[in-house]
Amino acid sequence: MAILRRLTHPKVWPVRWRLAVGSAGLTLAILLVFAAVIGHLATQRIRNDFNREMHTAVTTLAAQVRVTETPSGPLVTSPELDDFALPNGAVVRIFDSTGRVRARTHNAPHLGLPRPGVTHVGSLRVVSTPILGEGGPPVGYVQYARSDQHIDSTIERLWLFVAAGVLGGVLLASLAGLAIANQAMRPIASLTATAGEITSTRDPSRRMPQPDIDDEVGELARTLDQMLRSLDAARTEREQAMQQQREFVADASHELRTPLTSVIANLELLQASLPSPQGSEDHEMVDSALRSSRRMSRLVADLLLLARADAGRISERTDCDLAEIAGNAAAEVAPVAGGRRLNLDNGRPVPIHGNPDELHRMVVNLLDNAVRHTPDGSTIELRLRVDGDKATIEVADDGPGIPDAMREHVFDRFVRGSGPADTAIGGGTGLGLAIVRAVARSHGGEVKASQSSLGGALVTVTLPLRKTEQPITPSLGAL
């Protein structure tokens, strides 16, 4: 149906086809007018020539006929009529002044009495002329007739030839128009192909092909090329500015860690040195400041990790066992899990090449996210398995799950969950799962969210395995 609409709607035809059809339509209109005029003039010329031949023949014959009055009646003297009429297949009859036929060709049909001008009898065209005497009235008449069927056949062939000429001209005009359109559209097609490649690769540094002819298409190509140069320059400037911002955030986050560590250490010393009893106003002020400082320290650590990932800074990598890292992370999260059941399912080592601290942080964030968004009594499962050359980490729970609309955005930065199951004070920072994705991608892996078989959320991380022949003995047990 779509193809039919495309074929029946000229506005959606390609430009080359519209140019060819327009050229063919204009040629058809011109040739139709020309053919009508030429055909009509040629037809009139053929009929007039035929009539002129008949008038000439009958006048010539009338000049050679003699009618002499005798006591027994008019005597007609004429050349041999059959010899005169045979070359043209004509029919001749000669009348005297009384209207009686005095001579005729062999098997001449009845043509009626002679009448002035041109008349038609059946398929014969008849011309009559008087035989004049010496200064007196007509002494007889010559009736000359010829068939006009060959004239009609000639005219039909003429119109057929004209129609064939019109169709041939339209066809040639269509082919010529299509060839010219293809030639004219070839540079535009090259520009379109290059623009499509730039769109797919998002690389404005590509250059537009420059046509050899300096025409409108060449001007368009130069304009597009200048536009791409401007876009490429703007993109370069933007990337440089963004890279500088990433470097600044990474450096600032790194510099903030030292004073924050010092502040936390001093607050802890101050807390330990307070002589007042626990629960006093001084203790509450110090505890509040210490909690805020620790929360700020965690936030700065998160921003530093993300800033380094954005800036393309690769941390130190080493050979490690993902199963051991996951076990340590689960052991770290277990004390804060409350009434939730944390199950670890892993029976073999998972060797990978990466940064143990970042991987540990990734697994901790996954488990912490599951703890914070599930109510007490929920079950959280941490599963590790090897699929071919990939290591897979799955964290599943039987909580409320992740809404379908949020599954594509839950790994974006500063995206927070909501609902009665969220146990984070203040709703969290919204960077936990963003860090999970940053760590996974920096190690050549990927992460996705879906629904688990338990009915809640399922977060799956895939990482490439380390190519090794030496097995790693896992050092984790059941939690």
DSSP code, position 86:
G
Tell me what percent of the residues of the chain surpass a pLDDT of 70.
83
Average pLDDT over residues 442-461: 88
Write down all domains in the chain, each with its CATH number in brackets: 1-202 (3.30.450.20), 217-309 (1.10.287.130), 318-464 (3.30.565.10)
CB 131 within 8 A of CB 141: yes
Average pLDDT over residues 387-393: 88
Average pLDDT over residues 230-242: 80
Handedness of CA 132, 133, 139, 144 (dihedral sign): negative
The C-alpha atoms of residue 113 and residue 162 are separated, in whole angstroms, by 40
Average confidence score pLDDT of the chain: 79
pLDDT at 177 over 50: yes
Q: What pLDDT shows up at residue 423?
A: 47
Average pLDDT over residues 309-325: 80
pLDDT at 383 over 80: yes
CB 128 within 8 A of CB 143: yes
pLDDT at 35 over 80: yes
Residue with the larger pLDDT of the pair 434 and 241: 434
pLDDT at 425 over 80: no
Is 409 designated active site?
no
Q: What pLDDT shows up at residue 75?
A: 67
Q: What pLDDT shows up at residue 294?
A: 74
The C-alpha atoms of residue 49 and residue 18 are separated, in whole angstroms, by 45
**The tokens 């009139």 sit on which residue?**
44
Pick the range with the lowest mean pLDDT from 37-46, 122-131, 267-276, 337-346. Answer: 267-276
pLDDT digits (tens, 9 = 90+) for 109-155: 888 888 877 888 887 888 888 887 776 677 788 888 888 888 888 88
pLDDT digits (tens, 9 = 90+) for 263-299: 778 777 877 777 766 657 777 787 788 778 777 777 7
pLDDT at 477 over 70: no
CB 423 within 8 A of CB 429: no
Residue with the larger pLDDT of the pair 453 and 305: 453
DSSP code, position 106:
T
Measure the CA angle with vertex 18, ends 15 and 22; round to 5°.
Answer: 140
Q: What pLDDT shows up at residue 91?
A: 85
Q: Rounded to 5 degrees, what are φ and ψ at 307?
A: -65, -40
Q: What pLDDT shows up at residue 463?
A: 92
* Type of residue found at 198: I
The C-alpha atoms of residue 464 and residue 64 are separated, in whole angstroms, by 119
CB 204 within 8 A of CB 231: yes
Average pLDDT over residues 453-461: 88
Q: What pLDDT shows up at residue 461?
A: 92
Q: What pLDDT shows up at residue 274?
A: 76
CB 459 within 8 A of CB 394: yes
Q: What pLDDT shows up at residue 73?
A: 64
Say if pTM beats, i.e. exceeds, 0.85: no
Read off the tokens for 20. 């060819």
Residue with the larger pLDDT of the pair 10 and 96: 96
pLDDT at 354 over 60: yes
Closest to 10 measured CA to CA, from 1, 20, 43, 199:
20
DSSP code, position 9:
-
- Can you state the percent helix, strand and coil of the chain, rounding each to 5? 55, 20, 30
The C-alpha atoms of residue 256 and residue 250 are separated, in whole angstroms, by 10
pLDDT band at 228 (very low <50, low <70, confident <90, very high): confident
Residue with the larger pLDDT of the pair 251 and 398: 398
pLDDT at 473 over 50: no
* Type of residue found at 475: S
pLDDT band at 419 (very low <50, low <70, confident <90, very high): very low
Query: Exactly one of 40, 120, 150, 254 is catalytic; which is it?
Result: 254
Q: What pLDDT shows up at residue 5?
A: 53
Pick the range with the lowest mean pLDDT from 39-53, 67-81, 208-222, 451-465. Answer: 67-81
pLDDT band at 1 (very low <50, low <70, confident <90, very high): very low
Average pLDDT over residues 226-251: 76
List the alpha helices (DSSP H) in 202-321. Answer: 216-273, 281-310
Q: What pLDDT shows up at residue 420?
A: 45
Residue with the larger pLDDT of the pair 118 and 77: 118
For residue 398, what are the contacts with CB-CB under 8 A and spacing of at least 6?
A: 374, 378, 379, 452, 454, 455, 456
Average pLDDT over residues 204-219: 75
* Type of residue found at 82: D
Q: What pLDDT shows up at residue 278?
A: 62
Q: What pLDDT shows up at residue 219?
A: 80
pLDDT at 426 over 80: no
pLDDT at 458 over 80: yes
CA distances from 425 to 165, 291, 359 (A): 89, 12, 25
Question: What 3-state class would DSSP assign to 234?
Answer: helix
pLDDT band at 7 (very low <50, low <70, confident <90, very high): very low
Q: What pLDDT shows up at residue 429?
A: 67
Q: Rounded to 5 degrees, what are φ and ψ at 122?
A: 65, -130
Closest to 178 measured CA to CA, from 14, 10, 31, 3:
14
